[in-house]
Structure 1
């Protein structure tokens, strides 16, 4: 037995009839609150309910009222209404988007399109079982399905052309609204108007739905479209058919990739744009989705030509075709203008400074115009020349110039065509005007020189026809005119002469190219000195030792010709034996041919050498080494005294030594004095010295000294260095060994013991110098008895004299 809780009060007995077409009778019953409710006989779940508006007063009656072979349900309510209900209603569908009969254009891969269906099951929403939607049944036939019971949707067929991105289903209690989010692939093969067929089934498995015509079409083709902007590298903005220069880069921009036939529906494609010209040349440019074309073309032509670029798209996905119909045309001028003639022709003398210059030019391409022809005078700026007249492909230009005297009037023509081909030019044209005489300028050398062969020169200027190099001559005072080996660089005449030391006078003469002259120059004095300054005096002399940090030298130099140059007197200081040098400042005072160089410095204690480079006004130089000289600021120092404070001497008869050092002036003498209690001291004696290091280090030794035992002896050293600085070592302790002390504590003197009895020998010993002592016991009968401060012995019979000997390591007993 199965039971189900209905959740309502039945007004009448139920009616059993199969309304779900599953061969199991279902339950129909009226309720007190005015509903007709259908219960699934298999699952006992509510299928649907119909609101009658008032209490149902009769059982549900089943019968075929309309003769369609399907049963209808008849019931009456408390208000007297008799209602006939189709027991097996067919579901219905309405396509709400896209709108049928409008043939809406949808674009492949552009976006997700919503296909929305409103569906009625025949009863309430719970009676609908599932839905199918077939897109383009005459072509692709993609099938989408939605199952109300499971709440799922899927693409059953056509996934090679269609993608189901999403779905959404909702109900108002009676109708369902189902939306399929569909995206179409580029491979969609059918661009004609497409139908949509919707299929529905209710819980009675009765089918229904609807067919909707001319719902949509899919656009899968693209084209490059939109206004095209062209900007030349040199011409700037360009229009169709404009002239450009051969090899000029033109930037083409503006068009975008759209779906065929659309104005601004940009296709989500990354493509390659091809621009093919009439010569077969192809330019390419990648174009990302959603961006405008940016492409450069660079047409090249030997002559004049017309270039038309036809655009196409590449790298399109399968199923997508290019429908581009876009082209752009420019004229290319590949030939610069041709210079025909010009006046004046140049390299001829002109006798008027006002000159009209003309130029004839031919260009059959883009042509000429104002600003296309320019002229410059010398290295000046280019200026535009006025167009005089034009005839066909020939143009004439003219300009009037004011020229200067001389033959350095240089003019140059250049011309471009309208697109910038060129320049074509004449090269530099010389125009000569001659009126001014030759003039001598500065001569050289103007100062002392030290060359063996002296280069003598003079500047010669002719503002008109210039200097005639063949006319150049020179002579020395008292000599003949000569022209051998003269060089001319266009401005200066020069000759190299072997001149003696001292002063020599030279004169020049020359003519200009036009034949004016010869004209002579004034006498020119040439000064030659090949001998460097000579060192004549140094104070103080080499080897001098300074005993303070401030040192100074006075150095005297002589140069009888050009004189000593203070700027060329340089000095460096170097400690003797070292490589590192230090530049030092010197002051130089010059009177006539004699220069006094003063060096002053603050130096550390050491030996030094001073290197002086002395130069004269002619550039001669000599280097002089001054020194060595010393700086001694410290008295002698003492080290390694012997004996040292911890050196204990075994006897008092010793020779004392010490090392004495003075690194600069050396040791002049060493003395010593020694004393101990009971002596007077302070009597100095000369020490014996053994020198090393050039006398800067000595080992000093006293005569024989007899010090008393103990630590009371003292010695002191005194030394003087080469500059008289004296130092003393201070009192040094001398330690002479003292003998140990000992007493015998046992046995007592004169004692007696029985034979065969052990005797204990015991002593007490001390050493004033702290040495470890060696104690030895002996008997005049038995000999050695043992060592140590306590010894156990057995003496032979007789009268023994026992002896204890105590000795320190230095022989003290």
Structure 2
């Protein structure tokens, strides 16, 4: 078998991945052996072994392809329209040289945008990166940005650029003072502006955030479209591990443990789709201990020897669920009593400490204990019952509470005077069949106990709650609107109140609002709501944590609103636009009405030159040449009318320009050129922004006639050459022609 070290040395793709720091030499060796055994591709083997993901593989393949092809970069030969790679005396002043230097390389890291991002052609994309040399010195300002479609984009740690349509490989390169080079690449997609694709952006959480399993994560996004407007409610959220997460501009959910790629995706009405992805890490939650609680018998209970005593308890665990069947019961005197959530057992005479214990699947163990007394069967234990107050009763701390109990014994008779009363909070309360006592605020366990002359003891317990008598009711005031105010039923009315409690402070969030006609309509110190027509009694109510509630009332009158006129707005094209006669003119507008909703389909379009030209929210009419006043009109169901107007000009297009060039004959290193595939002509009416591109796939075609240009304008042209590897030369000199 070929050794893993030797296999690792044979893989160029592996070297790229190791250089990026995504795999180790040992992982590459293991993957090559796996590849050989399974007869699969190296990239697929690395993914199947979990060493890299698909995004990392794609970036490495792009980097590998770029490294192999950059040496063959083209530059056109000297002519009227080209910048020569060499000066006339044969020097290589402008030529690109590749030098290998045996010292540590610098590093460069693209921080924005993320690989796989999608943009519209009209969007300005911001590229950012960090770069440092082998001495950790910042050389970010020397980063050079390159697109495999648009060529060099700019220099610096942050640049902003609009890109032509297509799938771009974006490369950030940096060279240190020793000539050592480093680069990183990502792939992004830019759609044609004709697609009118939507835009989607994840606002929260940020990329590379970390969470603990079980944490509820809020995903917030924005989405919009030039035709459809706000698409936030249509955002679909997915996780690479958990699948569908929800729909909307805000989704709250938990994620399972692992490295997630979370994607927000939106589709407009024309089925154009865009997405934005972030990477999240979710760590496994720490194991929590189980909980056990003995429900019967009560702590301090007494029994006679020979009694079958029922023991019950509850046990649960966050991970394992109900653990009742695993509860183990023991006595400090009798040892093991049994297992399960409910058992019955007789105990020997004495004072027992009963323990219920349980362990979860991860070995976490908890227990709870109670005290139980078992009296000798040779003497009958006394009888004891608490007659007042009832268990669960509530009192105030300033109240005197009456405690009553009966106690008797077959041998000793009435033992009422021997009853001892105590509280787990306040200690001894007194003795006798009837006592009175004030208790401090809190949850009390009250115990009544009695002993007969043979030493047999009986205990009885009740639970009481004592509230702090100093609690003061909260204060509440409605500050807006005033009682007697009037509104209409289309108006959002602002309701505000202040609520304060002496113990709790501001409790405005707990205010509840109610209308005598419309019922409950909101919570909080500030609520905005529309009400139906009529005379309303508005009630604001607030309660503190002690249950003290107060209310305030106002009266307001709501009348029916008059019908409002609809609104209409022309969204495209912009007013003052000039449109060539051979281009399709698309007119778009929005229209809505408070009562009728969306009226886009009812918009009627007019031109002061051509008359009525169509109906609907979007039309594409044939307009005659000249200056048009375009009017969009809409009428609602009540006959209310609105219109919007813009001025546009349809211009005559008959300008002609002929562009010709000479083909290149050599590469930048002066080696003969082979594999010429074609040319690209960049043109426009701004010499600093040649944003129109014409692709010519015939290497023998050396001219092109532009016959649909606008008279009276000056156009600028530049040409590049493209080889069979898709490598594009620098642009030629820019030439111009005035029509």
Q: Indicate the TM-score class for this superposition, using the shorter chain for normalisation.
A: under 0.3
RCO higher in 1 or 2 (8 Å CA, sep ≥ 6)? 2
Using the size of structure 2 for normalisation, the TM-score is 0.19
Which of the two has greater helix per residue?
A: 2
Larger Rg: 1
Using the size of structure 1 for normalisation, the TM-score is 0.17
